[in-house]
Amino acid sequence: MERPKKKQILLFYCVEAEDLARKVAAQSDFIQLQSINWRSFDDGFPNLFIKNAHDIRGQHVAFLASFSSTDVIFEQLSVIYALPMLFVASFTVVLPFFPTGSFERIEEEGDVATAFTLARMLSNTPISRGGPTSLVIYDIHALQERFYFSDTVLPVFESGIPLLKQRLQQLPQSDKIVVAFPDDGAWKRFHKLLDHFPMVICNKVREGDKRIVRIKEGNPEGCHVVIVDDLVQSGGTLIECQKVLAAHGAAKVSAYVTHGVFPKKSWERFVHKSNESEKAFTHFWISDSCPVTVEAISGKAPFEILSLAGSIADALQI
Same domain, 152 and 168: no
245 in a structural domain: yes
295 in a structural domain: no
Distance CA 195, CA 197 (A): 5
pLDDT value at 210 more than 80: no
151 in a structural domain: yes
| 25 Cα distance to chain centroid | 19
State the pLDDT at residue 60.
98
Same domain, 39 and 125: yes
State the pLDDT at residue 106.
85
The string of pLDDT tens digits covering residues 158-177 is 999 999 999 999 999 888 99
Mean pLDDT of 306-315: 98
pLDDT band (50, 70, 90) for residue 2: low
User: Which residues lie closer than 8 Å to 303 by C-beta, 6 or more apart?
Assistant: 260, 267, 270, 271, 284, 285, 286, 297
pLDDT band (50, 70, 90) for residue 276: low
Same domain, 104 and 222: no
User: Which residues lie closer than 8 Å to 81 by C-beta, 6 or more apart?
Assistant: 124, 125, 126
The answer to whether the CB of 286 falls within 8 A of the CB of 307 is no
Distance CA 290, CA 125 (A): 23
269 in a structural domain: yes
Which of 171, 85, 89 is closest to 130 using CA atoms?
89
List the CATH number of the domain containing 272: 3.40.50.2020
pLDDT band (50, 70, 90) for residue 1: low
Same domain, 153 and 169: no
Mean pLDDT of 218-224: 97
Same domain, 101 and 146: yes
304 in a structural domain: no
Same domain, 26 and 117: yes
pLDDT band (50, 70, 90) for residue 286: very high
pLDDT band (50, 70, 90) for residue 275: low
Structural domain count, the chain: 2
pLDDT value at 250 more than 80: yes
Partner residues linked to 180 by β-bridges? 200, 227
197 in a structural domain: yes
293 in a structural domain: no
Same domain, 154 and 165: no
Q: DSSP letters of the chain?
A: -PPPPPPPEEEEE-GGGHHHHHHHHHT-TTEEE--EEEEE-TTS-EEEEETTGGGGTTSEEEEE----SHHHHHHHHHHHHHGGGS--SEEEEE-S--TTTT-----STT---HHHHHHHHHHTPPPBTTBSEEEEEES-S-GGGGGGS-TTEEEEEE-SHHHHHHHHHTSTTGGGEEEEESSHHHHHHHGGGGTTS-EEEEEEEEETTEEEEEEEE---TTSEEEEEEEEESS-HHHHHHHHHHHHTT-SEEEEEEEEE--GGGGGGGGSPPTT-SS-S-S-EEEESSSHHHHHHHTT-TTEEEE--HHHHHHHTT-
Out of 51-60, 211-220, 238-247, 276-285, least confident range? 276-285
pTM summary value = 0.95
303 in a structural domain: no
Distance CA 137, CA 157 (A): 5
Beta carbons within 10 angstroms of residue 207's beta carbon: 9
pLDDT value at 181 more than 90: yes
| 229 Cα distance to chain centroid | 11
pLDDT value at 273 more than 90: no
Out of 91-100, 103-112, 127-136, 180-189, least confident range? 103-112
The string of pLDDT tens digits covering residues 5-50 is 899 999 999 999 999 999 999 999 999 999 999 999 999 999 999 9
φ, ψ of residue 57 to 5 degrees: the values are -60, 135
Same domain, 262 and 131: no
Out of 31-45, 145-159, 275-289, least confident range? 275-289
pLDDT band (50, 70, 90) for residue 154: very high
Distance CA 251, CA 177 (A): 10
Same domain, 143 and 248: no
Which structural domain, as residue segments, surrounds residue 242?
161-287
